[in-house]
Structure formats: structure tokens, C-alpha cells
Structure 1
């Protein structure tokens, strides 16, 4: 009898496809390994259609699986590659979510950047290989969505939900993985997250989340099987210490639908710094007050608005 398969035996590889949609770019352990936390694989998402047979007796009905696809969820720590002008190892996951990656290498030491912005069309896809024990699951045509969480005294993480076309799992040789591209993170603190401003006003931040809000659809038809990103609705939630209304007035901002630039900077080391800029955020009505340690807090709901298109936010690594 074979030994039991250990739960902590997962291997994840991810690679962008540069060929026709759904082509397998064949990721490798040496070049494409991904370091994730809280990983969940749903290997046969879909529906079960009953055959609904009319028989001269009663009993259970057979069903047929339809619309089968694969969903992988997992989080990566939000930290750069460790070198300016070098894309992070988790970059392919961003690109699978309808986000463009522009790498500007160093001209002078330390001046290179990696920039991520949303795109409306020509979304990239990729492949993900997932092992648990000897069992390999292959996902192709992968596209997805993410949510970034940045809370005080916690590690900033981006949680990806990635959807791909189904292939029958099989036992396969486990690769040797290289995870050296993943750097240790910096916890969100006053020192490590030196800037959070809304409308140019510095605010004390306790909780922050940024939902990309992709509408990810499985279009499984005769003549076409694809995972599509058909819409997007970014939402930012920021829980901040309340301030006098003469400093910042969220009630007036909601009524006037005025746009406020948001800036969040995190990281103190070159190659590990991140900066989010959302220059045209509207403020939703304040649904209520919150408190933490008997300190009044505002739960702000913000919507990054596009101006010319695909310019509602920029994430820069430097």
C-alpha cells in the first residue's frame, strides 16, 4: 500500500501564454514556481445534470458533469522582486487578471520600475500546473481576479482567484522548484507604510482592501471554450481614524461625487517598495461609524474612476 499523500506537498507553477489562447506554455519548476499561502484547488467546478430517466421503478438518477472547469485560489505576499526594474515572480498571476506589466530596467542603479495598470482588451492568459503529492492538475487558458488586503500589523497579501480550462489530472513526476524570486515581506506599520493619503490628506489607516472586481466567465460552447474577463468594477475599502470635517468631509464628498486622489506607499527597501495611485476616487455614502479600541473610525468605500480609460489606478514597484 502506498504511503498517505501529505497535504503540505503542493507545488504551483504559472506561466504566461504568448501563443494562441489556451496553448500550454509548459511552465517549469526552475523558472515558474509560485510561492502562495492558503491555497485551495477546486478541480471540477461545474454542474451535475440529471438524466431524469423514466423507469418502471424508483431509485437514484444518474447525472452527467457539465461546464467543468478548474479554480485555484491562493495568496501571495505583496513585495517586489528585491531588484529595481525586475518583475516579481508573481507577475504572471497579475497579467492573467487583465493587468498590463511594464518593466523599465535600471538606467542608473535603483531607478528601474515595474508598473501594473488595468487593460480593457487583449487580456493575456496562461497555464498553471498544480501538484499535490504525485497528482498533477493542468489549467490552461487561465484568467482571474484578485483582492489586495493591507491591514495594520499584518502582511500585505494579494489573494488570487484563477479559473482555467479542465484537463484530466494524472500522476506525474514532481519538479524541483526554485522559489528564490520571492522576497520576505514587510509588515504594514507606521514605518513600513509611510504614506496613505486621500485627497492629499494624510489619514491613519487600520484596514485596507482593493478588489479588482473582474467578471470572470467560463464560455464553454461548441466551437469555443474560453475563460473571459467581460467586465470590471474596482472597489477600495479603507477604514481610517475619523478626523474633523474641516480636514476631510466624507459626507460632502459623497453628495458632490467629487474625485479624490488616493496614494498608498509601502516598503522601505529599494526593490521591495510598492506604490498605489488611484487619481480619481469617488467616495460612497458613509454607511455607519465604527470603533476600534474606543477610537472613532470611518469605513470609507471608494471607487477608482477611469478618465481616458485604463487609467483608474497604477501599481508601481521600485
Structure 2
């Protein structure tokens, strides 16, 4: 019997105990696209034996783990103050989730008590279970496109198994809005509204799988947050990224997408340092700046390089 590639179900559930399968069910289904799985990563130790035949003597697979990447549409839960299904995935990327009932859900970076998820990916009746899952993410909002969160995860290895494709329950997951002038009402750098073609906040967590005797864990060891935006160039008297870069200016960056309560996403980096503009682009006959900024904490101990607020 053929195993169909397009018959995919991805489930995700927070783990109570790190590395112990949280047994997600159909109600934990994630609507994902562009799923890419590397099912058996690791190393092969060459035995390198001296033998009469002088040929290969076999290898031993070690440090087995699994990686997966996919995209999720960037939209709220549909109800203000209710976390979206993909919130648990951000929590596995070193983020805290703060819920204010009937009002808002806020995500920001944290450095301790890091959480993890279990992922179950079933493709055509083969289950690829992943435990101890942690990773990184990026938020991508481009004009005339669907806004996405791009996830990349590393997981401890679990042997694949023949398991029937589960029934996925996507109840309550709202449709996304395309990024447009009407649907994305706010984009500013240093409180200056700019015409924006694309925006991307990349968390760039450093993800490392550790395999020791007595402990195997996927670690998040630092990060390299960046904001990239391609914007319409304006008079330097209005907005001067060159002077900002030369003077190491730290400026606020904000983008808001969505129009109705329960589906409004606001991403803010209050203290982002402008980097050197290294090029110019032709945007349909108009000069555009590819800008890059590095979100910094407002104080040495703050975890406020960026926040994402859903209302």
C-alpha cells in the first residue's frame, strides 16, 4: 500500500516532564505548511578496524536526533485573551506566554525555566514522534502575502512506528488576513511611518542537542535577534538610517497586523539598534532601503528586546 505524502497531521503539546511524551491528541493539531523533516540526524562512528580484507568495518550511529521545520499562519486565536494554538510552539522557543483574560496574550523572551513540547508528525500512517523539542522562530510579514511564523525545531530521537493517521481537530483556528495597507495599519521605525514591502523578526536561537551519560537534552544557548525590513526610501530630513547607524542609535520598531478583536498582532522592539545600510533596491521603479536592526534590551537585565501582543 502506498503511503501518501500529503496525508500529514502535526500535533503539539507542552511537556510536563522534559523528554517525556506528552501524548498529544487531535485537539492539539497544528495547521502547518511547508513541513520539512530530517528523521534521523546524528553521527556515524567509523570502527576503523584492521582486518585482512582491508575494507570498511562498519559504523555505529550515535547522537540520534530529529529536526523539523514548518510555517504556521500568523493570526490570533479569534478571541482576545485566549492563546492561539501555536502559542505552545513559541513557548518551546524560549518565550513566555502571559494571558490576561478577555484582553490580551503577550509573548516575550525568557532565559530560565525553558519549556519544551512533544511533536507527533504522522505522514501516511507513519508516526514520527519527537520529544524534548525546542527551537527557534521568525515572524514574516510581507506585502500581498500571508504572514507566517517560521519554526525550526530539534528533538530527541524516537523510532518511527506504524500508526493510523489521527483525526485532526482545527476547531477555533481563524483564517489569516493577507498583509496589506488595509489589514496592516501600523509600521513604524523611530515612530516614523514608512511604506514597507517586507518585515521579518528572526529570533535566531542557538539550538544544540547535547548527548551526555545521564542527560540528553536540546539546549537553547543564546540568541541573535534581528529585524529586517525593506522600506520605501524617503528624504533624509524625514528619516536617516545612515546617521542612525553611524551614531549607534537605538530606536523603536513596531508593526501591527489585523483589524478585529481576537485577531490583532502587534510586534514591538522598543530598543533596536540600526545597522549599516549596505545597499539600495529597485522596488517597481522606486528606491527602497533594505534595513537591518538588532533588538536590544532596555536594561541589562530586561527581557524586552521584543514583545508580541495579541488583542
Q: TM-score range by the shorter chain?
A: over 0.9
- Say whether the 8 Å CA contact 1:88–1:181 is kept in structure 2: no
Does 2:27 align with 1:27?
A: no
Does 2:232 align with 1:235?
A: no
SS at the partner of 1:55? Answer: coil
Residue of 297, 307, 311 corresponding to 1:306: 297
SS at the partner of 1:150? Answer: strand
Cα distance per residue 1:19-71 (max 9 Å; x no partner): x3212221111x21111000011110112221112122243442221211011
- Say whether the 8 Å CA contact 1:89–1:181 is kept in structure 2: no
**TM norm structure 1:** 0.95
- Say whether the 8 Å CA contact 1:96–1:126 is kept in structure 2: yes
Residue of 181, 184, 202 corresponding to 2:175: 184
Q: Distance in 2 between matches of 1:173 and 1:154?
A: 34
**TM norm structure 2:** 0.97
Deviation at 1:264, TM superposition (A): 0.2
- Say whether the 8 Å CA contact 2:270–2:298 is kept in structure 1: no
- Say whether the 8 Å CA contact 2:204–2:224 is kept in structure 1: yes
Equivalent residue, structure 2, for 1:54: 50
Equivalent residue, structure 2, for 1:14: 12
Cα distance per residue 1:128-170 (max 9 Å; x no partner): 1111111111111110001111111000001100111101111
Equivalent residue, structure 2, for 1:109: none
Equivalent residue, structure 2, for 1:297: 288
Matches within 5 A, 1:172-211: 172-211=163-202
Structure 1 residue ranges without an equivalent (≥5): 107-111
SS at the partner of 2:142? Answer: coil
Matches within 5 A, 1:150-299: 150-299=141-290
Q: Distance in 1 between matches of 2:161 and 2:109?
A: 35
Deviation at 1:277, TM superposition (A): 1.0
Residue of 141, 161, 174 corresponding to 2:132: 141
| Matched residue count | 309
- Say whether the 8 Å CA contact 1:265–1:274 is kept in structure 2: yes
Residue of 104, 109, 119 corresponding to 1:118: 109
- Say whether the 8 Å CA contact 1:305–1:312 is kept in structure 2: yes
Q: Distance in 1 between matches of 2:211 and 2:124?
A: 30
